[in-house]
Amino acid sequence: MSLLSGLSSDIKQYLTITGNYWVFTLTDGALRMLVVLHFHQLGYSPLQIALLFLFYEIFGVITNLVGGWLGAVIGLNRTMQLGLGLQIIALSMLLVPNHWLTVGWVMCAQAVSGIAKDLNKMSAKSSIKLLVPSGAESTLYRWVALLTGSKNTLKGAGFFLGGTLLSLYGFQGAVLFMLGLLIVACLISLMTLSKKLGLSNSKPTFKQLFAKRSAINYLSAARLFLFASRDIWFVVALPVYLSTTLSWDFWQVGSLLASWLISYGGIQALTPRLTGLGLPSTPDGISAFYWALTLAVTPALMAAALYFNLHTSYAVFIGLALFGLFFSVNSSIHSYLIVSYADKTQVAMDVGFYYMANAGGRLLGTVLSGYLYQCYGLASCLALSSIFILFAAILSTALPTLSSNKPSVLLTD
């Protein structure tokens, strides 16, 4: 306690924001795994499971667009608390008898959860930008990588938690456990977060949501294809493949995907060291281009191995590891670049616009994951994943390089 009392108010706010974000991310990852495995157990097809997340992703797109404007108007502390409150409502909607858990009802609950998740994420990442001094690019890069990596590590832990709780206590018991965690986080947030956090000095107009510099537009488009390339095979196709083709138990599926995300998050935290080997200390558009090209090779090779039936189990596991390594670096570079390009006077709106594209990519990938797997198998998901990554690489060539003029305000996520 004496150590905490000696910290500055900004650091205390950062710790509160980070703790809030961590708890939310843990429960969000657990809920994702619960829904996939529980409804597969109830006999839902891969496409039906994908549709359960349709509203989650659609409302995530809308929330990221509007949420940045809302955060500038009412303050990021309120949008963060609103996110927690909505997630509590979403979980409560799932505490009904199994015969009430229709596709429509679960889709509505997932819609509320999608709004909650993106309000929380946008608020957390935009808030941290305000705590880092201007011009401290190396520090900025490290902090963005650490925050992003820790978030994904905890989301992976959430996958493990979801699979384990489902095996031990069933669907409703798992939901009750997560509900308790969120209520505690919400109470702490209400007591400790600054009420002036993120409030804009001027009232932004709604038109400003779409008036972005070309660098933000191109980066957002690249982000859309990058995350579509992951979710097109990772969200529905892979868990169902492991459960049906390889006959894995729920806890085994949850453990593997959790381990992948935890490792993925750890690599993201180390990205500044990985990208600094023989390169400039901070990445630019060229960095994003070459790392995307490297990533595109992995799903292409996995698809070929599955199509020609060449050691398919080894191809999936080795490919999953390599994809996690290269994808984590790509994601971390993007996370740094959006923060770098964002205007400090409208950080919430710039970051919100970027995460709108991120959510759009997840939406596209989720729907295609269920459809392609059900109709054509995992190899087709992986082949299109590689094509999407190539689109992201091409878009990255339009991003500023270290030798070109970059925005005058370079801050953090």
Contact 189, 16 (CB under 8 A): yes
Segment 8-15 shows an average pLDDT of 68
How many separate helices (H) and strands (E) can be counted in the chain? 14, 0
The CA distance from 85 to 234, in Å, is 28
DSSP state of 370: H
Query: What is the pLDDT at residue 158?
Result: 83
**In order of start, what are the domains of the chain with their CATH numbers?**
2-396 (1.20.1250.20)
The CA distance from 158 to 37, in Å, is 14
Residue bearing the bigger pLDDT, 148 or 336: 336
Q: Say whether pLDDT at 217 is over 60.
A: yes
pLDDT tens digits, 264-320: 778 877 777 776 644 446 788 898 999 999 999 999 999 999 999 999 889 999 999
Tokens coding 306: 């599955």
Segment 8-25 shows an average pLDDT of 76
Query: What is the pLDDT at residue 196?
Result: 65
The CA distance from 19 to 43, in Å, is 37
Cα Rg of the chain (Å, integer): 20
SS3 label, residue 44: coil
Tokens coding 390: 């190539």
The CA distance from 399 to 333, in Å, is 12
Contact 233, 382 (CB under 8 A): yes
pLDDT tens digits, 356-390: 898 889 889 988 988 899 899 999 999 999 999 99
pLDDT tens digits, 80-120: 888 889 999 999 999 988 788 888 888 899 889 889 988 88
Chain-centroid distance of CA 171 in Å reads: 24
Residues across the chain: 413
Q: How many Cβ atoms are within 10 Å of 11's Cβ, its own excluded?
A: 12
The CA distance from 8 to 13, in Å, is 9
pLDDT level of residue 135 (50, 70, 90 thresholds): low
Phi/psi at 283 (5° precision): -80, 165
Phi/psi at 248 (5° precision): -80, 150
Query: What is the pLDDT at residue 327?
Result: 93
